[in-house]
Structures are given as structure tokens and as C-alpha cells.
Structure 1
């Protein structure tokens, strides 16, 4: 049994990332911590996440506070505090906040790597943005290919890291 990977964080702590992530994103356990088995993030869903698909990872979402909607398999599902959803790999889905203050959720991806994808996207900076500052999803998808991550929308508003 390995004890060298024990990780204890207080309520405000997050794991360091290669580049700053936007406010509201926080890595609680990354791929490097879990030997790639999973990633766990806390996410304040300030913006809608457009339709996308994870080809390699299942995603589990648990609502801590607030309310969100998930579009999955042609239906919209409303999640409130304490509810969760398993989003199997290979099935497109979208998520959006429907409460004020914005929903806070835990997102677990297995296998891990979602936090690495996010770091790569934010490291790319303006190279993945349109002239009006929105995310150019074709360019984001070029990065996502290495992670089995693909958006089906063409642009998306996303905050810049702090």
C-alpha cells in the first residue's frame, strides 16, 4: 500500500496547475496525484458549457450549491443541491448555471486529464480566441484531440484566468 500519495486539502486549498485557471475552477486532485485514474475539480459554473463530448473519460457531476441544467441525450435535466449525474464517455452533453449565485459543483473525470486539457487551453491564451475575445472552439478542439475532448459549438465565452 502506498502512503506517499496521501493528499489533504482544507476547504480553500486547490492543487497547483501549470498555468492559472479562471476564478471558480479549482483542482482538488489532479491526474498527477491519482496516477491518472481520475481528476476532481470544484467548478463555479459562471458560463454555459456548450455541447461537447469526452471520448475517453466518464464525467460525474455533484451539485454542492445552486442549480444547473444538463442537456443529455435530447433531454434537459435540472440538478439541485445534493443531486449528481454520471455523463458516460462518448455521449455529447452541455451544462449551464440556472441560479444566483452560480452553481458550485464537483466534477470528477475518469480517467484523469481534464485539468491538463484546461491548463493547455488557458496556456494558449489569445491564440484560441476570436477577435471579439470568445473562445474559437475549432482551435480549442485541436488542443482537445490529445485528451479525447471535442466541442460541437463554434465559439464560447469563457473567462480569462486571474
Structure 2
């Protein structure tokens, strides 16, 4: 069993995980974005939950509005970008299955099936 209180600090931070899944927090400043046209996780699905703030997710060319309480699934291989379009920091909790990053935040290679 693992447990922690989610710290929402600026940027992307891997929080907790095991061999099967991983959680990370992400705080995007007003007007900023994370990801882009080439951003994708080839080996992991990403669940993104919006704790607070407003923004948009651009996934495979489609735009989805984000607000507190939004939950989206970004499937492995989806090209995606998350933008803060609001007036306060956009705070998200992200779950990756399987893990997508090292504890330092470097992307892991896709696992071999």
C-alpha cells in the first residue's frame, strides 16, 4: 500500500507508482501549455483529472474543454497538448497505465508486449 497527499507544485511531477501504474501532478501557468503536435505516450494510457482551473485538451486534432472535475482518457499513441486558457493555474492529476515516466520525469520507452 502506498499513500500521499497530492502536492500541486508548478510543472510536472511524478508522485507515486509501481510496476503497473503511476500518478503525477501537473500545474500549467496561465497562458502556458504542455505537450504539442508530437507529444504522445506510445506505451501508456493517460487519465487526466482536472483538480482546478480551466483549459483545453487538443487530442488528435480535436479540442475538448477542461474545467474542475473534468476527466479524460488520452489513449496510448494519441497526439496531445494541454493548454491553460483560464485565469488561474490549471492543476491536474494524471494516472498512467503502465508507468510512462521515470521518477525524475523522463519518458520511459514503450514496454514490449
Same fold judged by TM-score > 0.5?
Answer: yes
Which runs of 5 or more residues in structure 1 are unaligned? 1-5, 15-21, 122-143, 149-162
Q: Encode CA deviations 1:124-145: one digit per residue, 9 max, x unaligned.
A: xxxxxxxxxxxxxxxxxxxx5x
Instruction: Please tell me whether residue 92 in structure 1 is matched to residue 75 in structure 2.
Output: no
TM-score by length of 1: 0.57
Q: Does 1:109 align with 2:100?
A: no
Give the aligned length.
106
Deviations 1:66-112 (A, max 9, x none): 01211113211111110111011112111111112111000111101
| Residue aligning to 1:39 | 22
The CA RMSD over aligned residues, in Å, is 2.3
Higher helix share: 1
Counterpart position of 2:50: 63
Query: Contact (CA 8 Å) 2:14, 2:104: kept in 1 or not?
Result: no
Q: Which gives a bigger RCO, structure 1 or 2 (Cα 8 Å, sep 6+)?
A: 2
Gaps of 5+ in 2: none
Cα separation, 2, equivalents of 1:23 and 1:96: 14
Q: Per-residue CA shift, 1:4-34, capped at 9, x if unaligned?
A: xx2222354x9xxxxxxx834333313xxx2
Structure with bigger gyration radius: 1
Q: For 2:105 and 2:65, locate their aligned partners in 1 and report how far apart those are by CA, in whole Å.
A: 30
C-alpha distance 76-41 of structure 1, shift in aligned 2 (>3 A): same
**Contact 2:23/2:96 (<8 A) preserved:** yes
- C-alpha separation in 1, matches of 2:51 and 2:69: 6
